[in-house]
Amino acid sequence: MAKYYITTPIYYITDKPHIGTAYTTVISDIIARWHRLCGDDVFFLTGTDEHGEKVQKASERAGMQPKEFADTMASKFSSAWKEYNITNDAFIRTTDRQHESIVAEFIKKLYDAGDIYKGEYEGWYCTPDETFLTELQLKDGKCPECGREVKKVKEESYFFRLSKYQDKLLELYDKNPLFISPKFRSGEIINRVKGGLKDISVTRTTIKWGITFPEDSNHTIYVWVDALVNYISALQWPDGGNMRFWPADAHIIGKEIAWFHTVIWPAMLFSAGIDAPKKIFSHGWWTVEGRKMSKSLGNMVDPIELKNKYGVDAIRYYFAREMPFGDDSDFSEKNLIARINGELVDDLGNLVYRSLTLAERFNGRIKGAPELDKGLDVEHIKTLMDNLDTFNAIEEIWSQVRRTNKYINEKQAWKLNGEELGSVIYNILESIRIISVLIGPFMPETAEKIRAQLGVDKQDISHCKFSDFNGRIKKEGHLFNKIEKTQGMNA
Ligand code: MSP
């Protein structure tokens, strides 16, 4: 049994979940479920990033102690993910005692390796992004990433010798061309590394809400160092049993945090003598109705409201279907409704409904030669999913949905009877059975409803080929309901 370890970023608790964080989590869940379907031993991790200046300030604004504030906010994430049927095996919080002690042990290891030294940091800091910035990096005096105000910082700090790892990093990228995925994102990062690396500040004296630096208690560990270590602290590094899942097979992240994951994280791991993860996959960003999603614009989309309105599987499907592999995409409710009505109600819902109506009325033998297997390439879908290409994989599955609808029409199934009808129904039901297995990771509730209506046992990827149909049909109502235009939030 192959092991598969997949992670999401751990989310800042200053915001409640929005469609950006929900998207990353859903896509990662789809991949985790897919690997379970393929029989892999999966560990899927998500969690919350709870230390640092930003949280310290937010808790002050809320009139709460940071930990109390963190408890309230972290539970918003864990409960949202439950509502989204997320199957994470663990939920890490950076305020967990175990995490805190592992971070201290980890940084001590870098210190003992001679990779940490004391100095003074003088430069800029973007609190919303918790990022140190040089004068040159600023764009019109603001943070180049989020466009917000930065502040001048001058304080004593310990530094990590990132510069020492330039060659090792370049060697890593060279040996593992897919380490920075998708490939089109790698050029910029590799060029920056080739251009030379500066040592980075890894402790702060002015921020108290953090893990104490073990070598000097006046310092707390920089929140990004603390956060990155979550990927191994959740496995109880150094010798916990779950370390068998390391190296991670995929860290799924948004493109804005690629530098931390593809440069700083592997360099720290090298310093600690730990293998680098296998792949860092950066997905694109959602805009909302053509505009950047932000609190100040007041256009944050709440995933719970969305789900309550349209159903969890519709949103999971939309996430996978709408955003091309690694690219940016625009969220619009109009689009979402169009997909629900066109693809879920008309394509899939109708297919299942009319097929089961045909099958229920038929009392002959459901048997025949496979015809609808042509064009269905499960190996290809597997390859796409191995490449984390959920977008093209769901597209490929949908081709089979369309092909099956077309087959019913072409055969004019409603005009047939006897053996001929038995054979057509056989093909349709086998196709639907396989579709239900393949869509399981994307739309688990819908897959389960179809399986129950077909009256077949639980299945995995090895069952995705045409064989005898052994179900006991129990037709129910429609899988999805049409959304009227006026029902949309802003439609
Ligand atoms: N705490 C850090 C990550 C530490 S990981 C060791 C962080 N947190 S965050 O709350 O800001 O979450 C960032 C992640 O949310 C992004 O990497 C991305 O996965 C997701 N998204 C946030 N906004 C997004 C969009 N508008 N669109 C798509 N995903 C985005 O950074």
- For the segment 88-99, what is each residue's pLDDT rounded down to a tens digit? 999 999 999 999
Q: In a mutational test of the pocket of ligand 1, which residue from 6, 7, 8, 11 has the highest number of ligand atoms less than 8 Å from its CB?
A: 11
What average pLDDT score do residues 120-130 get?
Answer: 92
pLDDT of residue 370 exceeding 50, the answer is yes
Q: How far is the CA of 286 from the centre of ligand 1 (A)?
A: 11
Interior/surface letters 46-67, b for 16+ CB within 10 angstroms, e for the rest? bbbbbbbbbbbbbbeeeeeebe
Name 10's bridge partners. 47
Strands 41-49 and 3-12: parallel
pLDDT at 145: 87
What average pLDDT score do residues 199-214 get?
Answer: 95
pLDDT tens digits for range 5-23? 999 999 999 989 999 999 9
Determine which residue's CA is closest to atom 25 belonging to ligand 1.
20
pLDDT at 326: 87
Determine which residue's CA is closest to atom 21 belonging to ligand 1.
20
Q: Which residues lie with the beta carbon below 6 Å from any ligand 1 atom? A: 9-12, 20-21, 23-24, 49, 227-228, 230, 253-254, 257, 285-286, 293
Name 148's bridge partners. none
> Would you call 347 helix, strand, or coil by DSSP?
helix
pLDDT of residue 410 exceeding 90, the answer is yes
pLDDT at 295: 83
pLDDT of residue 146 exceeding 90, the answer is no
Q: How far is the CA of 20 from the centre of ligand 1 (A)?
A: 7
pLDDT tens digits for range 214-232? 999 999 999 999 999 999 9
pLDDT at 487: 59
State what percent of residues in the chain have pLDDT above 90.
95
pLDDT of residue 239 exceeding 80, the answer is yes
pLDDT of residue 491 exceeding 80, the answer is no
pLDDT of residue 490 exceeding 80, the answer is no
Q: How far is the CA of 10 from the centre of ligand 1 (A)?
A: 8
Q: How far is the CA of 26 from the centre of ligand 1 (A)?
A: 13
pLDDT of residue 84 exceeding 90, the answer is yes
What average pLDDT score do residues 445-466 get?
Answer: 97
198: nearest Cα among 255, 134, 289, 142: 134
Q: In a mutational test of the pocket of ligand 1, which residue from 6, 24, 148, 222 has the highest number of ligand atoms less than 8 Å from its CB?
A: 24
Mean pLDDT of the chain: 96
pLDDT band per the 50, 70, 90 thresholds, residue 1: confident
pLDDT band per the 50, 70, 90 thresholds, residue 445: very high
Are the C-beta atoms of residues 20 and 293 closer than 8 Å to each other? yes
pLDDT at 290: 93
Q: Torsions phi, psi of 43, nearest 5?
A: -125, 120
Determine which residue's CA is closest to atom 24 belonging to ligand 1.
20
Determine which residue's CA is closest to atom 2 belonging to ligand 1.
11
Name 254's bridge partners. 283
pLDDT at 216: 97
Q: In a mutational test of the pocket of ligand 1, which residue from 25, 46, 49 has the highest number of ligand atoms less than 8 Å from its CB?
A: 49
pLDDT of residue 246 exceeding 90, the answer is yes
Query: Which residues touch 487 (CB under 8 Å, ≥6 apart)?
Result: 309, 337
DSSP secondary structure code for residue 360 in this structure: H
Q: In a mutational test of the pocket of ligand 1, which residue from 53, 99, 257 has the highest number of ligand atoms less than 8 Å from its CB?
A: 257
Model's pTM, two decimal places?
0.96
Q: How far is the CA of 441 from the centre of ligand 1 (A)?
A: 22
What average pLDDT score do residues 422-430 get?
Answer: 98
Q: Which atom of ligand 1 is nearest to the CA of 14?
A: 10
221: nearest Cα among 206, 203, 209: 203
Q: How far is the CA of 188 from the centre of ligand 1 (A)?
A: 20
**Cα distances (Å, whole numbers) of residue 209 to 46, 149, 401:** 22, 21, 52
Q: How far is the CA of 254 from the centre of ligand 1 (A)?
A: 6
Q: Which atom of ligand 1 is nearest to the CA of 228?
A: 6
pLDDT band per the 50, 70, 90 thresholds, residue 486: low
Q: How far is the CA of 382 from the centre of ligand 1 (A)?
A: 27
Q: Which atom of ligand 1 is nearest to the CA of 284?
A: 28
pLDDT at 195: 96
State what percent of residues in the chain have pLDDT above 70.
99
Q: How far is the CA of 11 from the centre of ligand 1 (A)?
A: 6
pLDDT of residue 292 exceeding 60, the answer is yes
pLDDT of residue 488 exceeding 60, the answer is no
Cα gap 211→188, rounded to integer Å: 33
Q: How far is the CA of 484 from the centre of ligand 1 (A)?
A: 33
Q: How far is the CA of 368 from the centre of ligand 1 (A)?
A: 50
